[in-house]
């Protein structure tokens, strides 16, 4: 690209949120494989914890802004302590460290155990653990006591834009790590959603919509999450409402890898484009339950409306529509909470590369969808955070021309009547996906060794 390592003034880091890593403070080595954000093995843990109090899954919502669900880091750690002896033993001996991916990366990049690696997490990642007080931005003693994490070693909470430490070795030795944001907050920053009411939707493995609420923390009454949007140095913290879809791009991988019916994303788009509609087929891609605004851990993947006429092309189109319907449900919840209808939605991420998918999204939302030419908004957001920390930029206004060229706009092309009819069918399909993973159910949802 014509650049040298010496041209790099700082590094920004963005990471998969909620994913949990545990390691031994004495050896610096991991204790157990990371448990990723979408892992649903903790469903029984959620049930056990929710039964401890009359508030159920909302027991800590006033503290951290989040409900008890398989999604968040604290649930994963509780599961590890209950099921993995090496982890519970480390806690008993005061050597259990835990962190999200940002903590693990910064710790090792700045030297790790042998060279004084820095153990920190930024406020956006900390806000996804269920352990941070979302008002004070400090670890919550109430949450720690609830989960029984008193002997767990937690990282220090820092802002999203400051110098955490320097790269210890390699070609970038000495370059400061100066920005850190969870991937979805990084995309919000990368899309320059700095004003109250700005919103973006990222279509990756999952799908994540964030709505900037400024310095006002809004507790959702419609199934959304209250989260930290970003905090740049000593500046005031910004909050957001978030709606998360567990399965987006990963559903394409399922069609390709599990069923073997498509070779790649290009083939999916070609098949889906070859039909004008799904012929009444709805595909609820609840492979790991449904997130916002439904919050149904017991839901599982369901295809409704199949007839003798149904072809692979219809299922491929229904898969694309599934992400768009779930995004609409989130947007409707945001409009109710914010009491200000969104008129345009900024999009990015892998699935946004599909013109067909983005047109379907505009049709189902009934508003304009705006897509930048450079769609790696998470990387851009982390770079912006790092740049602010070392003085490359000093105000958000200086970013006005960044990634502005050659945007694409998708506008609704179907009638309100047709849109409402399609969405009514979707909600009926969603209801039929409920109940397949009840803890007490006899339904088998994975391979088991059965004896007769």
Report residue 254 CA to chain centroid gap: 19
Q: The tokens of 196 are what?
A: 């109250």
Give the number of residues written for the chain: 452
Whole-number pLDDT of residue 1? 67
107-161 confidence digits (pLDDT tens) = 999 999 999 999 999 999 999 999 999 999 999 999 999 999 999 999 999 999 9
Angle of CA points 19, 23, 28, to nearest 5°: 130
Residues 6+ apart with CB under 8 A from 13: 102, 105, 106, 177, 179, 180, 181, 382
> Which position has the higher pLDDT, 111 or 219?
111
288-298 confidence digits (pLDDT tens) = 889 889 988 88
Residue with tokens 């060279």, as numbered in its chain: 115
Whole-number pLDDT of residue 447? 52
pTM: 0.87
Give me the residues paired with residue 74 across strands: none
Q: The tokens of 87 are what?
A: 């982890």
Question: For all residues of the chain together, what is the average pLDDT?
Answer: 92
Radius of gyration of the chain (CA): 22
CB atoms within 10 A of CB 178: 26
The order of strands in the sheet holding 344-348 is 225-230, 238-245, 207-214, 199-203, 344-348, 368-371, 408-410
CA gap 158, 155 in Å, rounded: 9
pLDDT tier, 272 (very low <50, low <70, confident <90, very high otherwise): very high
pLDDT tier, 7 (very low <50, low <70, confident <90, very high otherwise): confident
Stretch (H or E) spanning 161: strand 161-166
Report DSSP letters for 14-52, one per residue: EE-SS-EEEEETTT--EEEEEEPTT--TTHHHHHHHHTT
363-396 confidence digits (pLDDT tens) = 999 999 999 988 889 999 999 999 999 999 999 9
- Determine how β-strand 161-166 pairs with β-strand 176-182: antiparallel
Give, in order, the Cα–Cα distances in Å from 273 to each of 138, 318, 355, 449.
49, 11, 10, 41
CA gap 201, 242 in Å, rounded: 10
CB atoms within 10 A of CB 289: 25
């Amino acid at each position: 690209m014509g650049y040298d390592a010496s041209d790099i003034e700082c590094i920004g880091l963005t990471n998969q949120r909620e994913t949990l890593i545990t390691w031994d403070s004495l050896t610096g080595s991991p204790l157990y494989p990371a448990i990723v954000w979408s892992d649903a093995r903790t469903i029984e843990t959620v049930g056990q914890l929710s039964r401890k109090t009359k508030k159920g899954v909302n027991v800590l919502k006033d503290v951290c802004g989040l409900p008890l669900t398989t999604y968040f880091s604290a649930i994963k750690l509780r599961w590890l302590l209950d099921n993995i002896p090496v982890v519970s033993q480390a806690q008993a001996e005061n050597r259990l460290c835990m962190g999200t991916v940002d903590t693990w990366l910064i710790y090792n990049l700045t030297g790790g155990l042998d060279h004084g690696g820095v153990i920190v997490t930024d406020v956006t990642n900390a806000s996804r653990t269920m352990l941070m007080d979302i008002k004070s931005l400090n670890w919550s003693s109430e949450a720690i006591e609830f989960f029984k994490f008193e002997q767990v070693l937690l990282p220090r909470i820092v802002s999203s834009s400051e110098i955490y430490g320097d790269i210890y070795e390699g070609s970038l030795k000495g370059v400061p790590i100066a920005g850190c944001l969870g991937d979805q907050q990084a995309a919000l920053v990368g899309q320059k959603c700095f004003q109250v009411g700005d919103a973006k939707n990222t279509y990756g493995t999952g799908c994540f919509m964030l709505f900037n609420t400024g310095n006002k923390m809004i507790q959702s009454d419609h199934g959304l999450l209250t989260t930290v949007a970003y905090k740049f140095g000593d500046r005031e913290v910004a909050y957001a409402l978030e709606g998360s879809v567990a399965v987006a791009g990963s559903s394409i991988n399922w069609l390709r890898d599990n069923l073997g019916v498509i070779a790649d994303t290009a083939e999916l788009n070609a098949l889906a484009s070859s039909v004008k509609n799904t012929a009444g087929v709805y595909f609820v891609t609840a492979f790991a339950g449904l997130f916002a605004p439904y919050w149904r851990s017991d839901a599982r993947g369901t295809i409704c409306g199949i007839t003798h006429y149904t072809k692979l092309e219809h299922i491929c189109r229904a898969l694309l529509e599934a992400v768009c319907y779930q995004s609409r449900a989130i947007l409707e919840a945001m409009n109710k909470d914010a009491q200000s209808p969104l008129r345009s939605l900024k999009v990015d991420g892998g699935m946004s590369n599909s013109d067909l998918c983005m047109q379907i999204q505009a049709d189902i939302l009934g508003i304009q969808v705006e897509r930048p030419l450079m769609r790696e908004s998470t990387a851009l957001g982390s770079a912006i955070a790092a740049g602010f920390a070392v003085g490359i930029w000093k105000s958000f206004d200086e970013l006005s021309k960044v990634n502005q060229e050659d945007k694409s706009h998708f506008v609704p092309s179907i009638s309100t009547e047709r849109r409402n009819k399609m969405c009514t069918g979707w909600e009926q399909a969603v209801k039929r996906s409920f109940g397949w993973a009840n803890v007490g159910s006899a339904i088998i949802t994975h391979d088991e060794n059965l004896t007769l």
